[in-house]
Amino acid sequence: MSDSVMPGASQLLSKYVDESQAASLRAEHLTCEMLVNPLGMDEPHPGFSWQVVGTGYNRLQSAYRIIVSDDRQTVAEGLGTHWDTGRIESDESLHIVYRGRPLSPFTRYYWTVELWDENGSHSAAAQIAWFETGLRGGSWPATWIRVPDVGPEGKLPPAGTTYDNEFSLDPCLYLRCSFTIRRPVASARLYATALGVYKASLNGGTVGDHEFAPGWTDYAKRLSYQTFDITSNLVLGDNVLAALISDGWYSGYVGYNRRKPAAHYGSKPEFLAFLRIVYEDGEVEAIGTGPHWQAGRGALVYSDFLKGEKCDATLAAPGWDRPGFLASGWRPCGAGRGTPAKLEAQREEPIRVQMEIPAVAVRAAPDGSWVFDFGQNIVGRVRLRVAAPRGTTVSIRHAEALNPDGSLYTANLRSAPAHDIYVASGESEELYEPQFTFHGFRYAAVSGLPSQPSLHAAVARVLGNDLRRTISFETSSEIINRLHANIAWSQRGNFLAVPTDCPQRDERLGWTADAQVFFHTAAYLADVSAFYRKWLIDVQDAQSKEGAFPDVAPRICSDRNGAPAWGDAGVLVPFWHYERYGDVRILRDHYASMRRWMDYVGRANPEGLRLHELNLNYGDWLSLDGTASKPVLATAYYALTAQVMAKTAEILGRAEDFAEYTRLHEKIRSSFQRAFIDAAGRVQGGTQTAYLLGLYTGMFPTELEEAAFSHLVADLEAHDWHLTTGFIGVRHLCPILTAYGRPDLAYHLVLDTTYPSWGYSIVNGATTVWERWDGWTKDRGFQTPSMNSFNHYAFGAVGEWLYGSMAGIGTAGQAGAFKKFSLSPILGKGIEWCSAEFGSPRGPIRAAWRRHPEGISYEFSIPANTTANIILFRDVGARIFLNNREIADDQDIHTVTLSLGSGNYQVNVWHKHTSHTQAC
């Protein structure tokens, strides 16, 4: 699509906007390492970002000044004791890297920024933001602790009962330590991590609201720690710091039911923490984990991601986490083995409970259980009210769908029973919510209750990394609205610690192709900057010594490596991340490993055709035509990565590498043409995906592109205008149809409700994106249970087209993190209006359009300090009104580009014969 600006457009357009409302600019939404006021940060040179806000039109930042100090008042007075950039003539507002005095550990730094606008007018400083450093690599005044080394398998002696279970899972470990505070405290922090997952508490109150901390990394290489401000939780006198730990990803069941004897990382969870107390008199005290901590058991019989949780409230040790508890039978902790891994402050937003969803129905199932329907397939768990005699066993099973008889469809969970069990204590009303597990479900079957539960007895609690949601999107079509909602729900639940393929069966892994095809969609839905940056470190950590990027990251299946489109994520995602978020450091951090990957692929495929895989080639996973040419896919990806490497080298100023990868790209392209493309523009394999990838990566000779495109269209027609693509092709379907002039077909595909289509799943009740087009069909019912997830975001990669083309907000491949972007809505049959707002890194961008009898009206908002090309398509003779004034231009030109600065715009494109000259 043309990116060219109408000649003289900027000058021409200034007379159509009223610039009178301009007031001074403001910096808002200040972030440090793309996080709002991060507590605990180890980055020695953090990047500062802000959004420029200002009323009026064509607003620009011409200069900025950042000041940083460890004293808030100093910053309020305009002094930067640690860093004062002075006035920097620059319009940049993202990732300004700290170059001040070395940062000390355990210190809160305050910062603000002031701006100068396009006229040199100076703004007041922004509201003060802060970041607080963590240990910065310093040693921990604490030692690792774990279960005492007594009894068989290191278990504590059973407290009157056995914790044995069919999964051989150990009971959760309860850890406590008493200490006394004798004088007033100025501030206190808890630094904590686990090999496993933990929840810490102080005097009985949970510390923070993180779930599944410390998250998932390659625990052999790096481990995140968390920082909590617990100043207000400490009391003068006796205090108890406590922690509950469980297996989590470290020693629990993860990925294909693997665990013991081949435990992924270790066999018993461990905990490491210390309190850092700063007294009002300035003295500092550290209270860390060590042999003086006590270990015991409690109600949690086991808690595992795949198997579920058993909580026996009759075993609870009330008050175990408070002062005054007689810890009789508790033992000194065992010494943990620890880890050689790097301990680093958590880089991404934590996992939190995102929301609660009430049940919409409760019905009896054939087996007598009560099935709650939450109306939405989610990732999370159930909070259940229980009123039952002591010792009553209540069971909660989870499923995404129901069998025809109303029972739960659990076959697709494979070896993940997703079964939570609660044994009632007998109190008049108990509230049970599992601690260290999550499930993918819409339905929960509850059995064992003495009487029929009310609809309000259960709520679903939604879990996921707490990312800033950045899109609102609505159209006149219920199908499209639901498709958008399904994509957003699949992202919300599957962005849990890492971007997982699915949340329900015994898999839940960071499959690299899924995460790359969905990257652009994800980056519209939420601010995934910190989340993907962290995951890219997992990808890098998982690179083999030969240079192969993994098929899943963190790596847990050592045999899965380097598949085309999967391993390539290690090159593509850093680059796309840079384009989207504008942080060049990500390219620097990954460049060496990106090169190693290219060498790895190149060594096996010296001719430029990627025919030889050292490992698997999954092809166009889950495509419907089954005949996708794997070498075509692999070679197209090879070309794409070579091109991305050339661009990256250019950005990093590596001229030789740029030349090398440009040559490589050319070599791959000509090999591709010789081997796979015939004189009529047909590509080997002839699948939709083969054409899509060939066109997307520019593999066809220019003169054959149109022919190739017509073969693609013919294939759609041959399938009665249906798609056949799998994971890899699906992302390109609507964008390529649109770019080559058939947006009508893209509209047809997204609105279609016949099999196979997104709409088919929707009219059959989907509330998330299905893994397979035929996950369930009217004729055949459920697909094979061995692979049938109903919450798999990969096919949701079409979201990029919904937001980028139907709404028209930017497109992939636009560098600069929306500093300069396009607003180019593509209208199509079947939709009367569309309205979207996207919270870009530089501020909110809005695009909306609506059909009228007179023509089409558009509304656009362009954030301050950015510019946009509004690109519209009109019928010959249509007249254009910008903010109610007609633009005098050549009405024979079909594509109109309006080059505009910031502001809110109304554009009307009225038919030739309409009498209207004003906006409605």
Helices (H), 677-701: 688-696
> How many CB atoms are closer than 10 A to CB 672?
26
Q: How far is the CB of 321 from ligand BGC (least distance, A)?
A: 39
Give Cα 245 to chain centroid, integer Å. Answer: 26
501 binds ligand BGC (CB under 6 A): yes
Please identify, using beta-carbon distances, which residue of 443 and 618 lies nearer to ligand BGC. 618
If you search the block for the tokens 């087209």, which residue do you land on?
A: 801
- Min dist. Cβ of residue 94 to ligand BGC (A): 32
Nearer to ligand BGC, 94 or 730 (CB): 730
Strands annotated E in 529-609: none
Name the catalytic one among 118, 348, 771, 854. 771
Residue 561 beta carbon to ligand BGC: minimum distance, rounded to whole angstroms: 12
Bridge partner residues of 712 (DSSP): none
Residues 6 or more apart from 430 whose CB is under 8 A from it?
313, 385, 386, 387, 422, 424
Tokens (6 digits) for 580: 């989207």
Least Cα distance to 542 among 525, 561, 517 occurs for: 561
Per-residue binding string, ligand BGC, 611-630, x by CB under 6 A, is -------x--x---------
CB of 562 to ligand BGC, least distance (A): 13
**What phi, psi does 568 have (nearest 5°)?**
-60, -20
Residues 6+ apart with CB under 8 A from 877: 891, 892, 911, 912
Closest approach of Cβ 547 to ligand BGC, in Å? 20
Q: How far is the CB of 542 from ligand BGC (least distance, A)?
A: 15
Cα–Cα distance list, 918 to 206, 809, 857, 878, 886 (Å): 60, 25, 11, 14, 9
Q: Considering the complex, state which of residue 303 and residue 494 has its C-beta at the smaller distance from ligand BGC.
A: 494
Smallest distance from ligand BGC to CB 416, Å: 13
**In terms of CB distance, is 511 or 576 closer to ligand BGC?**
511
Q: In whole angstroms, what is the distance from residue 229 CA to residue 232 CA? A: 8
Give whichever of 379 and 513 is closer to ligand BGC, judged by the CB atom: 513
Q: Whose CB is nearest to ligand BGC? A: 501
Choosing from 118, 309, 348, 507, the catalytic residue is 507
Q: How far is the CB of 618 from ligand BGC (least distance, A)?
A: 4
Q: Strand, helix or coil at 723? A: coil
Q: Which of 496, 502, 539, 649 binds ligand BGC (CB under 6 A)?
A: 502
C-beta of 622 vs 639, nearer to ligand BGC: 622
User: In this structure, what are the phi and psi dihedrals at residue 875, rounded to the nearest 5 degrees?
Assistant: -75, 150
Candidate segments 59-67, 185-193, 348-356, 501-509, binder of ligand BGC by CB under 6 A: 501-509
Query: x/- string (CB under 6 A) for ligand BGC, residues 511-540?
Result: x-xx--------------------------
Six-digit token pair at 738? Answer: 């649109």
Q: Which residue lies nearer to ligand BGC by CB, 258 or 820?
A: 258
Strand segments (E) across 526-598: none
Q: What is the DSSP pairing of strand 63-69 with strand 83-84?
A: antiparallel
Single-letter amino acid code for the residue at 615 = N
Task: Identify residues 266-285 at the interface with ligand BGC (CB under 6 A).
Answer: none
Element containing residue 300 per DSSP (H, E): strand 300-304
Cα separations in angstroms, 663 against 574, 611, 612, 646, 647: 22, 19, 21, 9, 12
**Phi then psi for 441, rounded to 5 degrees?**
-160, 155
Q: Tell me how far, at minimum, the Cβ of 621 lies from ligand BGC, in Å.
A: 5
Q: Which residues of 456-476 are buried (b: 16+ CB within 10 A; e: fewer)?
A: ebbbbbbbbbbbbebbebebe
Among the candidate windows 29-37, 52-60, 355-363, 505-513, which touches ligand BGC by CB under 6 A? 505-513
Rank residues 566 and 672 by Cβ distance to ligand BGC and give the closer one: 566
Give the shortest CB-789-to-ligand BGC separation in angstroms.
Answer: 6
Residue 566 CB, shortest distance to ligand BGC, in Å, is: 7
Task: Say how far apart CA 210 and CA 214 lie, in whole Å.
Answer: 9
Q: Any bridge partners for residue 190, and if so which?
A: 228, 275
Of 380, 435, 440, nearest to 416 by C-alpha is 440
> Segment 429-448, which members bind ligand BGC (CB under 6 A)?
none
Applying CB under 6 A, the span of 113-121, 380-388, 509-517, 691-699 interacting with ligand BGC comes to 509-517
Cβ proximity to ligand BGC: between 370 and 618 the closer is 618
State the burial class of residue 646 (Cβ atoms within 10 Å of its Cβ: 0-12, 13-18, 19+). buried
Tokens at 76, concatenated: 């309020």
Check if 717 is active-site.
no
Q: Is 349 a catalytic residue?
A: no
Size of the site for ligand BGC (CB under 6 A): 8
Q: Residue 210 and residue 179: Cα distance in Å, rounded?
A: 24
What is the DSSP secondary structure assignment for residue 190, as one 8-state letter? E
List 43, 170, 211, 507, residue binding ligand BGC (CB under 6 A): 507
Instruction: Give the nearer residue to ligand BGC in terms of CB position, either 621 or 858.
Output: 621
**Which residue, 507 or 541, is less far from ligand BGC as judged by CB?**
507
What are the residue numbers of the active site? 507, 771
Query: Which chain residues interact with ligand BGC by CB under 6 A?
Result: 501-502, 507, 511, 513-514, 618, 621
